[in-house]
Amino acid sequence: MAMWGLHYLLVAFLITITYGINAESAGITRHYTFHIQLKNITRLCKTKSIVAVNGKFPGPKVTAREGDNLQIKVVNHVSNNISIHWHGIRQLRSGWADGPSYVTQCPIQTGQSYVYNFTIIGQRGTLWWHAHIQWMRATVYGPLIILPKLHQHYPFPKPYKQVPIIFGEWFNADPQAVVQQALQTGAGPNASDAHTFNGLPGPLYNCSTKDTYKLVVKPGKTYLLRLINAALDDELFFTIANHTLTVVEADASYVKPFQTNIVLLGPGQTTNVLLKTKPIYPNATFYMLARPYFTAQGTIDNTTVAGILKYHHKPTSNHFNSSKNLPVINPSLPPINSTSYAANFTKMFRSLANSRFPANVPKIVDKKFFFTVGLGTNPCPKNQTCQGPTNTTKFAAAINNVTFILPNTTSLLQSYFSGMSKKVFTTNFPSAPVFPFNYTGVPPNNTMVSGGTKVVVLKYNTTVELVLQGTSILGIEAHPIHLHGYNFYVVGQGFGNFDPTRDPKQYNLVDPVERNTINVPSGGWVAIRFLADNPGVWFMHCHIEIHLSWGLTMAWVVLDGDLPNQKLPPPPSDFPTC
């Protein structure tokens, strides 16, 4: 086993770099190999076997530059099926490499491999990669850093160092068993046991002090922290005691810089912040903390992960004595249910919208959609007692009352591309609720949802406006909605029910933030716009994993355009089969 581990590690480090024809503008090809293997790991005094990549947890950092081609070979050595999603990568005409199982591909089976081959066009910033099948992403995730093209600068002062901090959620149990039990009984899933920074829960948990993330800094420098929320189900507030953060990027799009002490990230979201360290060595160390934002009913892991920000002491001073005796300063976070903080924070984001980074917001809308997002119920099977909201129901979730059912013998994209889609999905996903109700008022008595594999078909280059309306069915809560294959502009948001006459007058069409994952506010709505210029089948789902498991997802089919460079090429030869 040790020999194999070493072998895989060596392969992982063997990153070949081939120069393209014009290295400066076209970028280069970077090769990575991901070996999906089991790894024994100890956290909170319990040793367990997890699925990991190249023996690392969190998984390896993938680094590329804007314009580069990535070829990542994923080899599956475990008994679970696997597929990897490159979260936030637009996958322009490379939908075969997007990764969600049964949406764009069949999963990679045990002993099989697949090369994800895609080029990063017009994007730079912090993204991440994760497994996209069941709850495998609980342990299979890592950063995906896109640096600007060579000789191009950040639109902010060059940081002294850049540090990815990826937030996770740790389960003592097997996460796959947690979701299977929830789906079987119809109950909410058991809560996780810890939150983590770069896989480490930190000193506020029992038996965890040695597993503490430490960020050691020098005074008077600017650090770029690349924050990624890879937690399965939890939105997280993040803060560092006595330090102000300057937000400069969200979901790999630059934003107008603003200062804050506390940032909020929904699962799937990334945020770059500048941390300016104190000009002289302080007589203290500082906790960085993350803890959930949560407004729903039900149980949640409300525990706090702590890491330590520590100043690197002058070589002349007695390093060990001085740093050991320093007090640790504890920051404060908003109450767990502070929707007010969440709303204020979300409003701060504006895109740069300058000549170098314009905001190409669609001004004329071809197609408008109004989708409700929220929970609901499915009936309990006849001979079973369930643990949903009642003993005759199971928890479910839906968009416009459709709880999505994935195919299991092919993917949506394959069936579409081969002209066999009629056997797999229908194209009648409702563009608005069939039965309108007071979405944020008293919920309807009938909470049942309706199952289906339904999509919306869009012609190439359609401009789309989508209003996502949260519902109060079985409690109000925020839903971080993630769209594959696109970035969108967040043109409006508010509480209560969306008002189609009043609210569009308040839209920001000048400098709205551009993102791939947006929180539908708890008890509110958000409006987004995008240009459907990427042919393929694109999943859109809540990034709270249990909501996705309950069916809070749908797919857009974007047709080919007329020109050759507006068409999706055929799948690669090693494309997985079911």
Ligand X SMILES: *[C@@H]1O[C@H](CO)[C@@H](O)[C@H](O)[C@H]1NC(C)=O
The footprint of Cu ion (CB under 5 A) covers: 479, 542, 544, 547
- CA 348 to chain CA centroid, Å, is 20
Q: Three-class SS of residue 231?
A: coil
**What are the angstrom distances between the C-alpha of 280 and each of 216, 244, 315?**
14, 16, 14
**What are the angstrom distances between the C-alpha of 450 and each of 230, 378, 381, 393, 401?**
30, 8, 15, 13, 6
Q: 4-31 burial, b for 16+ CB within 10 Å, e for fewer?
A: eeeebeebbeeeeeeeeeeeeeebbbbe
Closest CB 383 distance from ligand X, rounded Å? 4
Closest CB 575 distance from ligand X, rounded Å? 10
Token pair of 530, please? 């995008």
| For ligand X, the closer CB: 254 or 349 | 349
Residue nearest to Cu ion (CB): 542
Among Cu ion, ligand X, none, what binds residue 190 when CB lies within 5 to 8 Å by partner kind?
A: none
Closest CB 485 distance from ligand X, rounded Å? 16
| For ligand X, the closer CB: 126 or 410 | 410
| For Cu ion, the closer CB: 343 or 397 | 397
Q: Three-class SS of residue 9?
A: helix
**Residues in Cβ contact with 12 at an 8 Å cutoff, skipping those fewer than 6 apart:** 32, 33, 34, 35, 54, 56, 60
Amino acid occupying residue 482: H
Among Cu ion, ligand X, none, what binds residue 547 when CB lies within 5 to 8 Å by partner kind?
A: Cu ion
Closest CB 362 distance from ligand X, rounded Å? 28
Among Cu ion, ligand X, none, what binds residue 78 when CB lies within 5 to 8 Å by partner kind?
A: none
| For ligand X, the closer CB: 253 or 414 | 414
Among Cu ion, ligand X, none, what binds residue 11 when CB lies within 5 to 8 Å by partner kind?
A: none
Among ligand X, Cu ion, none, what binds residue 40 when CB lies within 5 to 8 Å by partner kind?
A: ligand X
Residue found under tokens 């993630």: 482
| For Cu ion, the closer CB: 263 or 478 | 478
**Residues in Cβ contact with 10 at an 8 Å cutoff, skipping those fewer than 6 apart:** none
| CB atoms near residue 3 (< 10 Å) | 7
| For Cu ion, the closer CB: 351 or 471 | 471
Closest CB 116 distance from ligand X, rounded Å? 9
**3-state helix vs strand vs coil in the chain, percent to 5:** 10, 40, 50
| CB atoms near residue 509 (< 10 Å) | 14
Closest CB 547 distance from Cu ion, rounded Å? 3
Among Cu ion, ligand X, none, what binds residue 405 when CB lies within 5 to 8 Å by partner kind?
A: ligand X
Beta bridge pairs of residue 371? 468
Among Cu ion, ligand X, none, what binds residue 309 when CB lies within 5 to 8 Å by partner kind?
A: none
Q: 251-264 burial, b for 16+ CB within 10 Å, e for fewer?
A: bbbbbbeeebebbb
Closest CB 435 distance from ligand X, rounded Å? 4
**Residues in Cβ contact with 422 at an 8 Å cutoff, skipping those fewer than 6 apart:** none
Among Cu ion, ligand X, none, what binds residue 544 when CB lies within 5 to 8 Å by partner kind?
A: Cu ion
Token pair of 450, please? 């309706």
| For ligand X, the closer CB: 332 or 355 | 332
Closest CB 102 distance from ligand X, rounded Å? 10
| For ligand X, the closer CB: 437 or 460 | 437
Where are the strands (E) in 46-186, listed by range? 46-53, 62-65, 69-76, 84-87, 113-119, 125-131, 141-147, 161-170
Among Cu ion, ligand X, none, what binds residue 479 when CB lies within 5 to 8 Å by partner kind?
A: Cu ion
| For ligand X, the closer CB: 150 or 432 | 432
Residues engaged in binding ligand X (CB under 6 A): 1, 38-40, 49, 71, 115, 117, 242, 282-284, 302, 329, 334-341, 344, 383-385, 391, 401, 405, 408, 434-435, 437-438, 441-442, 444, 446, 448-450, 572
Closest CB 451 distance from ligand X, rounded Å? 8
